[in-house]
Amino acid sequence: MKVLVVGGAGYIGSHCVRQLVAAGHEPVVVDNLVFGHRQAVAPEIPFYTDHLGNVDAMRKILAEEKIELVMHFAAFAYVGESVEKPLKYYDNNFIATLRLLEAMLTEGVKKFVFSSTCATYGVPPSLPIVETMPQAPINPYGQTKLDVENALKALAHSDGLSFAAFRYFNAAGAATDGSIGEDHNPETHLIPLVIDAAMGKRENIKIFGTDYDTPDGTCLRDYVHVDDLSRAHIAVFDKLGTPGTGCFYNLGTGTPYSVREVIEAVEKVSGKKVNIVEVERRAGDPPALYADSSKAKNGLGWKVEFDSVEKIVETAWAWHSSHPNGFSD
Ligand code: UDP
């Protein structure tokens, strides 16, 4: 299938592009390269440096490339920044996504796969999180993703859009051949920061809060490999045949790991000791988040290949230690 991957030069998008090729599909990438890396996409793949909110540009690409399905990964994703600069998040993550959908519907492209997030749940009433739980985001980032989810439901009803939205837990890891991986600037995520500390690029890793009501006092998260995430996006294609239908899936392994356990995994994989500094809690961090992904497993035949944080960290370590400065482009 001819698939437009919006944000295809970003972290999850670029891994998905490779999985699409491996599965025999034909990806076309759009990325404005604000956060994406040109090098993350193979040179033979059609690449457009446009903004997803540019309706004319998107219409032209959709028509000329004869696109059948759109996957959308392009979003700002810094929770703290979204609290400081909500307009930036509403503009890019919500308004620009509406423009992309407008371009699609005008061109008659009605299959859509969307990157949503567990941040749409806010602080869950119980664990693990199932898709039917109430969604009450506690920051503008999560809110913009939920707003798109709601717009998709409305467009399925009004325009016959068929869509799938995946609520990711903590995306992590890198391609197993070490050729692409995570390169955010600034980096805020735990695994790459601990790896930086193990590589001596940072003096230490700060643990944000050691007094949570969890087994070792640090937060629990559900780390899921970026290639496992990507595979679900392709497995869902079969569900997009009926116009006017939509589905939502959690994507996590279901096994929570504490911040201390992640640090231990990096130490074990790298063979290096990491200096730890215990600091105050980070505002807005729920104590524990982990997924019940039975719906994706039963409904899509989705399987988690990287079923321990150590396996995930092995791939991340291979990428970071061979590319200490990330992508050059
Ligand atoms: N964390 C930490 N130190 C850091 C970065 C993150 O202790 O330098 C913790 C953070 O408080 C959370 C977990 O690691 O409990 C995962 O954070 P990350 O930012 O990777 O993902 P999030 O869960 O916020 O999406």
pLDDT tens per residue, range 253-310: 999 999 999 999 999 999 999 999 999 999 888 899 999 999 999 999 999 999 999 9
Task: Indicate if ligand 1 lies below 6 Å from the C-beta of 6.
Answer: no
Please identify, by atom number, the ligand 1 atom nearest to the C-alpha of residue 262: 14
Cis peptide before 137 (omega within 30 of 0): no
Q: What is the mean pLDDT of residues 38-42?
A: 97
Closest CA to ligand 1's atom 25: 170
Please pick, among 141, 249, 257, 290, the residue that the annotation labels catalytic.
Answer: 141
Q: What is the mean pLDDT of residues 65-92?
A: 96
Task: Indicate if ligand 1 lies below 6 Å from the C-beta of 257.
Answer: no
Closest CA to ligand 1's atom 18: 189
Task: Indicate if ligand 1 lies below 6 Å from the C-beta of 259.
Answer: yes
Closest CA to ligand 1's atom 7: 207
Is 141 in the active site? yes
Report pTM. 0.97
Task: Indicate if ligand 1 lies below 6 Å from the C-beta of 206.
Answer: yes
Task: Indicate if ligand 1 lies below 6 Å from the C-beta of 158.
Answer: no
Mean pLDDT of the chain: 97
